[in-house]
Amino acid sequence: MSPYGYRVDSDGYLEICEDLLPNSDMTEAGVVRLIFHMLANQGHSCIKVSNYLNALGIPTSYAKDDRKITRGKRKENTAGIWRPSRIRGIITNTSYKGVHFYGKRSTRKRDVIEREVPAIVDVETWEKAQKVLRSNQIEAMRNIKNQYLLRSLLKCQCCGLTYVGIHYPGSKRALKGYYTCTGKQAYNGPMQGKCTSKNLPQDWIEDLVWRDCLAFINQPGETLQEIAAAREVIQTEKVDLESEIALIQKSIDDKDIERQSILDLFRKSIITFTDLEKQIQKINQEKEILEQRIKEIRTSLQVDRDYSTKVMNAFQLLTSLRNKLDDNPSFETRREIVKALVQRIQVYTTPSVGSKRPRSSVTVQYCFAKDIIYTDKDCTNQLT
């Protein structure tokens, strides 16, 4: 898929698209220049730029081409609006200054090719836009009035977006902290409409996770025993998987020999072209299945290697974290510990039925321990 503002010519190269957009007097390239101008020269935020483009009715690439995105097994229409993340993606894309990287999005393992393309903005404007983008991010961090221990760690399982910290007026107008899904703003959600997830009280979820972290640091015995046992299982599985790869590779080599034998039969007029075509197709399908299995095994082995590396660092990490703890650790210390121990936090919401209110369930995935599932009323352990 070519970047917004470009199209692919008959020779497969990117060229600047100066065609007018539907129901507009602007071109895609003109929209890109406008985006860079608003950031680089006027210092606007990505939110302000996206709001402006939506107000103008400028179509996104998905809306313009009537393309759809895959959600589950079906393809669905997108909302067709500009989002701040889309603006940021354009600003950070090096293609617009004339350097395109081909193959970055490929799901296959391949070399990324750097090539020159026609630039829509000059290098100076592109670099200036990067500085404004970084400056806006720093300013946004400075404007944060409240501290959120689990910032960027909570993921909504309704829409896939991240929970953020926010304060609402509570009883007697006192502000109370919550974590809320960014998809609850219709503007940010990938669904057409607001996410229906439930807000999480900040004190409740932060206290639960912090107590888990303290327990793990101060009494890691059981967890480390489980880690050691898991590592032994991984080593055994590794030997079996590597043996399976060797057997599969031999089968693939045999398929190549079988393919050559079929071709020999055809050349000797022993089988017809139809028979040849059927047999070759069958061999190719069988070979593809075997190659896919090798790919799956190698992915599994890589996951095991990553886990083993993490296990090797577990003892060292625990010692380091224990040394940082005192009777009243600072927010920065607690944040560092949480980031080191918590991999992700998944938030599930059970929709309301009748007069019943929605229920939330939170699964905390730790780097070296069991997952912990918390609900509105209780918590239970569940092995990963």
Return phi, psi of residue 267, to 5°: -65, -30
Return phi, psi of residue 110, to 5°: -155, 160
pLDDT above 90 for 150: yes
**Pair (208, 343) in one structural domain:** yes
**Pair (252, 333) in one structural domain:** yes
Domain for residue 1, yes or no?
no
Residue type present at position 185? Q
**Pair (252, 329) in one structural domain:** yes
- pLDDT, greater one: 108 or 270: 270
Distances (CA, A) of 67 to 75, 77, 189: 9, 7, 18
Q: What is the model's pLDDT at position 72?
A: 39
CB contact set of 250 (below 8 Å; sequence gap of 6+):
none
- pLDDT, greater one: 34 or 356: 34
Identify whether the C-beta of residue 94 lies closer than 8 Å to the C-beta of residue 101. yes
Backbone φ/ψ region at 152: left (φ over 0), alpha (ψ -120 to 50), beta? left
Residue 183 DSSP symbol: G
d(CA 367, CA 342): 6
Range of the domain at 96: 6-142
**Pair (375, 257) in one structural domain:** yes
Q: What is the model's pLDDT at position 107?
A: 53
Instruction: List pLDDT tens digits, range 295-346.
Output: 888 887 776 666 666 666 666 777 777 777 777 888 888 888 888 888 889 9
d(CA 108, CA 86): 25
Locate 169 and state its tokens: 């007026």
Q: In the β-sheet with 175-181, what is the strand arrangement from edge to edge?
A: 163-169, 175-181, 200-201
Backbone φ/ψ region at 282: left (φ over 0), alpha (ψ -120 to 50), beta? alpha
**Pair (119, 238) in one structural domain:** no
Q: Would the CA dihedral through 283, 284, 287, 292 be positive or negative?
A: negative
Please tell me the total count of domains within the chain: 2
Domain for residue 243, yes or no?
yes
Burial of 75 (0-12, 13-18, 19+ CB in 10 A): exposed
CB contact set of 188 (below 8 Å; sequence gap of 6+):
83, 84, 161, 182
d(CA 332, CA 210): 13
pTM: 0.51
**Boundary-marking domain end, from 114, 142, 170:** 142
